[in-house]
Amino acid sequence: MLPTQSGGPGAFAQFDLKRVPTPCYVVDEEKIRSNLQILRDIGDRSGARVLLALKAFSMWSLAGLVEEYLDGCCTSGLWESRLAREKNFVPQKNEKVLSTFSPALREEEIEEICSLSDHLIFNSPHAFGLQYARKSGVSTGLRINPELSLGLDPKYDPCAENSRLGYPMSKLGTGELSGFQGLHFHTLCEQNFEPLLKTWQRIEQQLGGTLHHLEWINLGGGHHCTRDDYDRDGLVELISQISQKYEVEVFLEPGEAVALDAGILVGEVLDIMDAEKRHALLDLSATCHAPDVIEAPYRPALLGEIMEEGYEYFLGGSSCLTADSFGSYQLSDELNRGDRVAFLDQAHYTMVKANTFNGVPLPAIALWNSKTDELKMIRQFNYEEFVNRLS
């Protein structure tokens, strides 16, 4: 089980959970801004261009805030690319960059993807669509697999054995990189600076002089740059060295780092049930509202949980999946029907992955400003969101 990376409740320790309906995602605009300021500082000090990975956080009501601090977005295909342009994460005709990577492209989408993208990254030197992209004028890049496995779990390690993500660096033939303007690698997941440094050293050792022919190098995502213990000075130094030595533009693609500790998932206790252990049954669902709890898996931090012995509850989800549980928690007070609970660090990889399995309603989305205490309900979902996905 992966450890939670939550840095604690922060300003949410003062938030009244009864101010919102349940279930509900609450995002703190000021925490997003704080994370963006850290990323902007990294970009300013290193010369890197920092892109938001929409796959992790695509709350387009905050697109203007993101665009104020970052240099663009990276997307995973046509629909995310359209979202980036249409919702002004990356406005048309300005200096911002939209970078697109997908392991493979559909023939009927390649033309529109090229028209939307500034950079288009391919998964191999022989990928479908590469010749069209070059003729269209988009800047093309190659994603490589450095074949150095440093991930915490094979499911989240693009360098795991027989990975489909990135062309194996050892298979690159003479001249195969020369037709690309850029090089891309994304090998990290919720990691600090040291794995990036080791990965870069391996790439530099193997590819050597061919890097001088590139226009840009994209270091991908998975960098937890906004976590308190991240070695940001080390990252700045490495980026500066790369850009100066090879005369390239360097890109970063943080996703989680933009929304780290910036959101909570608020739910209500619907009932208490005693089995072998005591269960608090919620109107939340790990399966539907925070799928990584099941997929990773991991145990999310809970607002108000205690580390010493107290009242133990298994916080259970509202779907029929047996495994739909957030885990076991110790609380200082007993829970009762109608009580509110909130899981921490739930802004990233939650809203983008939420689903309506079992007819479980989607959480509402609220935007809170911890500096002004202003609260806005951004969206509430209804039955139509469920039925319209079915046939």
CATH number at residue 273: 2.40.37.10
**Residues 83 and 228 occupy one common structural domain:** yes
DSSP bridge partners of 140: 120
**Residues 383 and 351 occupy one common structural domain:** yes
Token digits for 216?
């840009």
Structural domain range at position 225 = 47-259
Residue 309: the pLDDT is: 92
**Residues 248 and 319 occupy one common structural domain:** no
Token digits for 44?
């300013």
Give how many domains the chain has, as a whole number. 2
Secondary structure (3-state) at 256: helix
CATH number at residue 198: 3.20.20.10
In which band, very low, low, confident or very high, does the pLDDT at 59 lie, cut at 50, 70 and 90? very high
What is this structure's pTM?
A: 0.96
Q: What is the mean pLDDT of residues 260-289?
A: 97
Residue 153: the pLDDT is: 87
Residue 218, in any domain of the structure: yes
**Block residue for tokens 């406005």:** 91
Per-residue pLDDT reduced to its tens digit, 357-377: 999 999 999 999 999 999 999
Dmax over CA atoms of the chain, in Å, equals 67
Residue 196: the pLDDT is: 97
Measured distance CA(120)–CA(247) in Å, rounded: 20
The continuous run of DSSP H or E covering 329 comes out as strand 325-331
**Residues 216 and 246 occupy one common structural domain:** yes
User: Where does a domain end: 259, 275, 301?
Assistant: 259
- Helices marked H in the chain: 29-46, 63-69, 78-86, 110-116, 130-136, 193-207, 232-246, 256-259, 286-289, 292-295, 383-387
